[in-house]
Amino acid sequence: RSDGTSDSYEITQHQADLHILPGLRTRAWTYGGSFPGPTIVSRSGRRTVVRHRNELPQPVVVHLHGGHTPAASDGYPVDLVMPVSGGGDPMAGMDMPGMDGMPRMSGDIAHGERSYTYPVNQRAATLWYHDHRMGFTGPGVWKGLAGFHLVHDDEEDALPLPRGERDIPLMIADRSFAADGSFRYPAIDPAMHRAGVTDAYTNGVLGDVVLVNGAPWPVLQADRVRYRLRLLNASNARDYRLELSPQPPGGAAFVQIGGDGGLLARPVRHDALELSPAERLDVVVDFSRYRPGTKVRLINRFGSGPTSEVMRFDLSPSGRPPADDSHVPDQLSELAALDPGKAAVTRTFAFQQSEKGGWTINGELYQPGRTLARPKLGTTEVWRFVSDFHHPVHLHLEHFQVVSRNDADPGPYDAGWKDTVSLRPSEAVEVVTRFTDYPGKFMLHCHNLEHEDMAMMADFVTE
Ligand code: C2O
Ligand code: CU
Ligand code: CU
């Protein structure tokens, strides 16, 4: 629904039987009965209000990932929406590995429903929304709680990029299935945890099938024209290195036009795309570079067996492709580089495993309300992330620019505004951001969802 100043959506979260595997039903947790959930579309500068009703058996929290959102609607992990059915202890099941001794703190509790208000004072970008309940984000997202939220603006609309049916969001997420078709998430057994048997969980849960928009190995009948593919890695913990097979003559199959936070200044050409959890890459692929009738596979070089297959584009056999007046201009956007030299503060955050089995930031297991940083609104800061393992590091509230990796240049997938950066083992990554508005409590965390659930999160408070 829309009126003069805002767009509103209503979403009921409920269980639904999906048809993902032939002949089987998958009982999922859904936004509105589908996986992915309904795509929300916003216009930059116009408020979007999303009312969520919780008909699931457990409390939920909704977070708009990449949203520049006031704290009250950001989906802080203890600001729960309790089930409409009543019942559901807010602290139920808060006995996940790494959460021993965590205070049973509750936040702003809503009963049955909550409206999240997004001012959308931000540029066009591919955002997504997902569950963010403390200690349960991994299982919640795995069971199906994720969807796209696209923001459009005039700057992007003025460009001749592929649009309409040739602008396709692709949510890539791996899953495993039990014999009856249900999603299989490794059981969390505290006794096993105490005995140190948590490998399937501690390093992040991997599925054995890759789904694209909820379907295994889908095939798109495509014309030999340009397509814009908005790739999102919505997997709990899996990393991808995506390639087209065969490669088009001359390589550089992907022309990257955007990242997490919208358009790049200029397009970047890639033979392959690396995407760690929660990252987005917005690319244009020109299928007119292939012969009519070619079957082009999107493959994952980091996978093996079934996880190396993502999807396929079956190109039309017709020798005369339909009209295509799209192209990728050399200049996409005016993008001011933030100057790390102007930073008021440089802060270091170490992402490490604790001896006790949880995952920590600066040696601390997450505790709601314990603040690791207090940035001042209106100032620029440099944040340095260092690690012992692979961690996709995500910042709420503001997008950032990558300044350096191991004190050298940023990597090939670091261009533009980002909200999640892939931090490799023993690496140091510096990012620069500007805290513009919205005072309050926000989060910095690892987006390997099992690391996140095992306490690799921190609060920061803007003031
Ligand atoms: Cu997509 Cu705090 O997460
Ligand atoms: Cu987020
Ligand atoms: Cu991590």
Strands (E) across 307-369 are located at: 309-315, 345-353, 359-361
| Ligand 1 neighbour 284 (Cβ under 6 A) | no
Q: Please provide the size of the chain in residues.
A: 463
Choose the weakest-confidence range: 31-35, 182-186, 284-288, 348-352: 182-186
Average pLDDT over residues 64-89: 92
Same domain, 277 and 350: no
Q: Domain check: are 301 and 366 in the same one? A: no
Please indicate whether residue 458, judged by its CB atom, sits closer than 6 Å to ligand 1: no
pTM equals 0.95
Regarding whether 291 and 176 lie in a shared domain, the answer is: yes
- Closest ligand to 390 CA? 3
Q: Ligand 1 pocket, 149 CB below 6 A?
A: no
Domain identity same for 77 and 26: yes
Task: Pick the atom of ligand 1 nearest to 66's CA.
Answer: 1
Q: 317-347 burial by CB neighbour count: b if 16+ within 10 A, else e?
A: eeeeeeebebebeeebbebeebebeebeeeb
In terms of domains, do 68 and 173 share one?
Answer: no
Res 2 pLDDT > 90: no
Same structural domain, 270 and 351: no
Residue 334 in any domain: the answer is no
Residue-wise pLDDT for 231-265, tens only, equals 999 999 999 999 999 999 999 999 999 999 999 99
Let me know whether 89 and 221 are in one domain: no
Indicate whether 190 pLDDT > 60. no
Last residue of a domain, one of 157, 184, 206: 157
The yes-or-no verdict on residue 101 having pLDDT over 70 is: no
| Shared-domain flag, residues 114 and 172 | no
Q: What is the pLDDT of residue 87?
A: 63
CA of 309 to the centre of ligand 1 (A): 26
Distance CA 402, CA 408 (A): 11
pLDDT at 102 over 80: no
Same-domain status, 230 and 279: yes
Using the predicted structure, report yes or no on whether residue 335 has a pLDDT greater than 60. Answer: yes
Q: Does the beta carbon of 65 lie inside 6 Å of ligand 1? A: yes
Tell me: pLDDT of 389 over 50: yes
Q: Which of 157, 186, 204 is the last residue of a domain?
A: 157
In a domain, 324, yes or no: no
Q: Would the pLDDT of 58 be above 50? A: yes
Tokens of 9: 């959506």
Residue 383: partners with Cβ closer than 8 Å, 6 or more residues away:
346, 347, 348, 349, 395, 400, 430, 431, 432, 433, 444
In a domain, 298, yes or no: yes
Query: With a 6 A CB cut-off, is 280 part of the ligand 1 pocket?
Result: no
CB-ligand 1 contact for 130 (6 Å cutoff) = yes
Spatial contact of 116 and 71, defined as CB atoms under 8 Å apart = no
| 127/108 Cα distance (integer angstroms) | 24
**Structural domain that includes position 454:** 340-462
pLDDT band at residue 203, thresholds of 50, 70 and 90?
confident
pLDDT band at 92 (very low <50, low <70, confident <90, very high): low
Could you tell me the CATH number of the domain that includes residue 205? 2.60.40.420
Per-residue pLDDT, 181: 94
In this prediction the ipTM stands at 0.99
For residue 69, give the ligand nearest its CA. Answer: 2
Atom of ligand 1 nearest to the CA of 445: 2
Average pLDDT, integer, range 71-99: 76
pLDDT of residue 358: 82
Considering every ligand atom, which ligand is closest to the CA of 392? 3
Residue at 341: amino acid letter: G
Judge if the beta carbon of residue 394 lies within 6 A of ligand 1: yes
Mean pLDDT of the chain: 93
| pLDDT at residue 154 is higher than 80 | yes
pLDDT digits (tens, 9 = 90+) for 353-374: 988 778 999 999 999 989 999 9
**pLDDT digits 0-9 by tens, 59-72:** 999 999 999 999 99
The dihedrals phi and psi of 137, each to the nearest 5 degrees, come to: -65, -40
Instruction: Read off the pLDDT band of 88 (50, 70, 90).
Output: low
> What integer pLDDT is reported at residue 80 of this predicted model?
95
C-alpha 12/C-alpha 83 separation (Å) is 11
Residue 104: pLDDT band (50, 70, 90) is low
* Residues 136, 77: Cα–Cα separation, whole Å: 9
Looking at the structure, do residues 168 and 136 belong to the same domain, yes or no? no
Nearest-CA neighbor of 82 among 117, 133, 146, 135?
133
Ligand 3 midpoint to CA 344 (Å):
27
Distance between Cα 448 and ligand 3 center (Å): 5
Whole-number Å distance, alpha carbon 448 to ligand 2 midpoint, is 12
| CB of 445 closer than 6 angstroms to any ligand 1 atom | yes
Closest to 54 (Cα-Cα) out of 185, 173, 145, 142: 145
Domain membership of residue 1 (yes or no) is no
Question: Which residue, of 271, 298, 315, is where some domain finishes?
Answer: 315
pLDDT of the residue at 356? 77
In a domain, 439, yes or no: yes
Residue 404 in any domain: the answer is: yes
pLDDT-derived band at 98 (thresholds 50, 70, 90) equals: very low
Domain count, the chain: 3
Mean pLDDT of 338-364: 93
Phi, psi of 150, rounded to the nearest 5 degrees: -100, 140
CB 393 less than 6 A from any atom of ligand 1:
no
Same domain for 291 and 174? yes
For residues 361 and 423, is the Cβ–Cβ distance under 8 A?
A: no
49 has a pLDDT exceeding 50: yes
Distance 313 CA to ligand 2 centre (A): 31
Binned at pLDDT 50, 70 and 90, residue 95 comes out as: very low
Co-location of 172 and 298 in the same domain: yes
At residue 89 the predicted structure's pLDDT band, cuts being 50, 70 and 90, is: low
**Does any domain span residue 168?**
yes
